[in-house]
Each structure stands twice: as structure tokens, then as C-alpha cells.
Structure 1
Amino acid sequence: MTTLESRPNTALLVVDVQKGVVAQAYERDVVVANIGALVEKARAEGVPVVWVQHSDEHLVRGGDEWRITPELRPGDAEPLVEKNYGDSFEDTTLETVLSGLGVGRLIVVGAETDACVRSTLHGALVRGYDATLVSDAHTTNDQTEWGAPPPDQVIAHTNLYWTYQTAPGRTAGTVETKNVDFRVTS
């Protein structure tokens, strides 16, 4: 039910699954494997896969830690959007890429749950996209040293509140990897 006109397509949006982001992430291998399975499913079904890659003072563009984790390989024809802010739409080409693909519905996976994934979900919803979070295909690092809850609680809380997120004319929600359906439903 996206509010974006003439945008009937769905895309898998892979946010910041970079070596330096997920190296120590909670349940890293399971999450990366789930993302890999979704990438393969999307490709098999002809669904666009759009990759997002963050850079900042800790993730230097072109450096080893900046690269997509080696288990996942963006296809040559798959768009890669570089960003410098949490919201993947902020000051990037993401909107142009999605518009060109006719995308109004996003299936979101990646890292980090409590930063770029949340920011991107909210950014998508306020821009008129339907935004579904894959509940077992996003992760974060342990930030308890700075007062955050443990990673499993951060992930559980994000899944809980995104399940019930609403906005006029748009849909949100969560789904497990095994239940992802890339077909648009109304």
C-alpha cells in the first residue's frame, strides 16, 4: 500500500553488512547466512537487491573494514549506495535508485539494528515506502558499556515495535527469513 505512485515493485535492501560492522556482531554467522539466503531468493525471483555501504572515520571508504563481508557478494548489476549517515536515504542516491526500479516496498536486513537499520526503516516509512524488517536477519554489536541493553534485547525490542509500526497508506511489520514473500500484497 505504498503512498508512492507507480512504484509497484519490491526490493531487498541490505544495510551495512560490512566487515568492520559485523565482525563482532551478535549471532553474526546466523544473520549473515539468513541475509545470504534472502539475497539468493531475491535474485532467483528477479527482485532487485540494493546494497548500502557506510563510511565514516571508523569505516574508511576503500579500507578492508569498509568492504561487504566476504560471505556476501553484490552482483555486478546490483546497485550499491554509499552513505555517511544512519538513514540510508540521507544525502545518498538511494531514492533515485529505488525510483528507477519502480520500488515502493522494501524488505530490510542488515546492521546495526539500533543505528542504521532503525534509521533506514523510519526514513523509508516517512518517505512513503512500505518497510518490512526481517526479524532474524539484522544484528548489532554489544553497546552495554555505554548503557545500552544487551544485543539480544535491542534486537527483540526493535522487532517488537516494528511489528506494530503504522503510518497512513503504508505498511510496516516484521517477518522471519523463512516466511519472506517478495510478492506485493495489498
Structure 2
Amino acid sequence: MEKTALLVIDVQNAMFDESGPIYDGEQLLKNLQELIHKARTAGVPVFFVQHNDEEFVTGTPAWEIHPSIAPNEEEVVIQKETPDSFHETDLHEKLQAEQIQNLVIAGNATDYCVDTTTRRAFSLGFHVTLVKDAHRTWDSNTLSAKQIIDHHNEVLGNAFADLKETREVEFSIDVLSKNRV
């Protein structure tokens, strides 16, 4: 049986700052809470990715993963410095060590880290499910955040990932073999 993991990308406090919050952040947190609960209940590993740069300075409150979805002590948190969660990190090795073949991806920001990580996961041979209502971004100068999200769902769903809504994502364990499916 193929094993699955949930990958939660860059859901950090700075993204919910009142001065420039991510689009529809409260709903994003609700959807992520639901996904994380489903994964943990089924015994499916949850991997968190945490961005580091001049805005997300390691150890600062802005850098911390949002407390409403905080990782458990035993869950893996990957530190990264580029939009690609695999680039110069040990994410791929950690997933291989767990024998993960399927990745369910959610988080921030749609047009940078979610897009890049989804494409890279596909290129590395993972079967990818992008949770289409569990990733967010900000308005750009030319497009609304909703337009950006819809566009990326269309592009990524056509070539790199299966698309599912939060309510459609189900994690289960094959009781006979104890393998995650």
C-alpha cells in the first residue's frame, strides 16, 4: 500500500498580521485544522514547512507557525529559505525514510511556495493532491488573491496534482497491513 503524508507549508504568524493579512486567513486556518485533525486521527504523518528570510526571522513571533495549527512535538518541521520546500532541505530524505509516495499539500503562498513545492513534488515522483481550498496568498497589483488561487488550482490541477476540497480529503489506514493509505 502507498503511504501518504500531509504537507503544511508556511502558515506563520506574519501572514495573519492585521497590517496585511493573507486573503481569507480565518477560513484557511479552519480548513487546515480540519485536515490536520483528519491526518492525525488516521495516523498519517504531518510535515510542516517554515520559511526563513528577512520577514520571517528565526525565533521571532512572526516566524512561528500559527498556534491554531501548531505541530505536535513528534511532527517534523522543515526549515527553508526558498519557495521550494525541497531545495537545500532534508524534506525529500525525511519523506523517503517514511516511505511516503503520496503528498497532500496545503498552506501559503499559493503563487510562490505552494506552486513551486507542488511542481517539485510531482517532478520527484510523488503523487500530489493539492487541497484547493486550503492554500492562500495576497492580492497582487494586477489580480485579486482569489483570482491567483483559482488560476493556480487550474494550472496545477491540469498537470501536477489532483485537486480536492478540504471536505473531500480522507486519510485512512489499512488495518490489515498497518500501512497508511
1:41 to 38, 62, 86: 38
How many residue pairs get matched?
Answer: 171
Aligned partners of 1:22 and 1:140 also within 8 Å = no
Normalised TM-score (structure 1): 0.88
Aligned partners of 1:15 and 1:117 also within 8 Å = yes
Specify the SS of the correspondent of 1:71. Answer: helix
Specify the SS of the correspondent of 2:62. Answer: helix
Normalised TM-score (structure 2): 0.90
**Any stretches of 5+ residues in structure 2 without a counterpart?**
173-179
* Identical positions, percent: 37
Aligned partners of 1:108 and 1:131 also within 8 Å = yes
Specify the SS of the correspondent of 1:110. Answer: strand
Q: What is the match of residue 104 of structure 2?
A: 107
Question: Runs (4+) of structure 1 moved beyond 2 Å?
Answer: 181-185
Q: What is the match of residue 13 of structure 1?
A: 7
Structure 1: distance between partners of 2:138 and 2:156: 19
Amino acid at match of 2:8: V
Q: What is the match of residue 165 of structure 2?
A: 176
Q: CA deviation at 1:141?
A: 1.5
Structure 1: distance between partners of 2:105 and 2:67: 20
Q: CA deviation at 1:70?
A: 1.6
Q: CA deviation at 1:142?
A: 2.0
Q: CA deviation at 1:57?
A: 1.2
Amino acid at match of 2:104: I
Structure 2: distance between partners of 1:12 and 1:22: 22
Q: What is the match of residue 133 of structure 1?
A: 130
Structure 1: distance between partners of 2:108 and 2:77: 16
Amino acid at match of 2:15: V
Q: CA deviation at 1:115?
A: 0.5
Q: CA deviation at 1:63?
A: 0.8
